[in-house]
Chains A and B, each alone.
Chain A
Amino acid sequence: LAKTTQPISMDSYEGQEVNITCSHNNIATNDYITWYQQFPSQGPRFIIQGYKTKVTNEVASLFIPADRKSSTLSLPRVSLSDTAVYYCLPPSGGSARQLTFGSGTQLTVLP
């Protein structure tokens, strides 16, 4: 099972770009990297997913280097409402399908 490591917490100010990096040294060849966001009192919500290079959607960008041992979630111009916990997930290797969440990164956006 690929293990992820990400910072426990980060602080930022409104309007800044925030980059959260996740390391997944033993990611399997066919694993994708997925990021979820969780607001207080809500279930996690899918943000973005990618395999390599760069993926962008209306919420965030995901940068994955060639070795795929890490990934960086980029949130442009954060606002107070982006305060949440952000989880990085590679799926488990093999045929079993699991969604296993680590500790995540608590992002606090300050005014």
Chain B
Amino acid sequence: DAGVIQSPRHEVTEMGQEVTLRCKPISGHDYLFWYRQTMMRGLELLIYFNNNVPIDDSGMPEDRFSAKMPNASFSTLKIQPSEPRDSAVYFCASTTGGRYTEAFFGQGTRLTVV
């Protein structure tokens, strides 16, 4: 398996534009996590899914952020409208069911909003 795949690797957009980040989890993994990482706030859990269903979105910063998982092999994180303070690295991770297994992370998407 190629691991967790995120796209794009880098995204530069203007304030007010819509941004969509994409993630393909490892096949067979039924948990998917979205994180945001900044120097100031560290690695923050935004939302996670189990079997394509959002379980906890309490980390989503505000209504401008939304995430979907239409099937087991694809998830999106959308920001609309984007703001400069959304600039960060966004990571996606997946893992199997069961509480004590390791999570695999993608390479991340570096988002810059100007």
Contact = CB atoms under 8 A, between A and B. Distances in A.
B93 A99 contact: yes
Contacts of B114: none
Interface size class of A (residues with CB under 8 A): 20 to 34
A89 B107 CA distance: 20
B35 to A, nearest CB: 8
Contacts of A98: 45, 48, 56
Main secondary structure of the interface of A (DSSP, over half): loop
A100 interface: yes
A43 B45 contact: no
B45 A101 contact: yes
A44 B105 contact: yes
A91 B99 contact: yes
A25 interface: no
Contacts of A99: 33, 45, 48, 93, 95, 103
Nearest to A32: B100
Contacts of A87: 43
A42 interface: yes
Interface string B43-58: 1010010100001100
Interface in B50-75: 50, 55-56
**6 tightest A-B CB contacts, nearest first:** A43-B105, A46-B102, A101-B43, A32-B100, A43-B91, A91-B99
Interface of B: 4, 31, 33, 35, 42-43, 45, 48, 50, 55-56, 89, 91, 93, 95, 99-100, 102-108
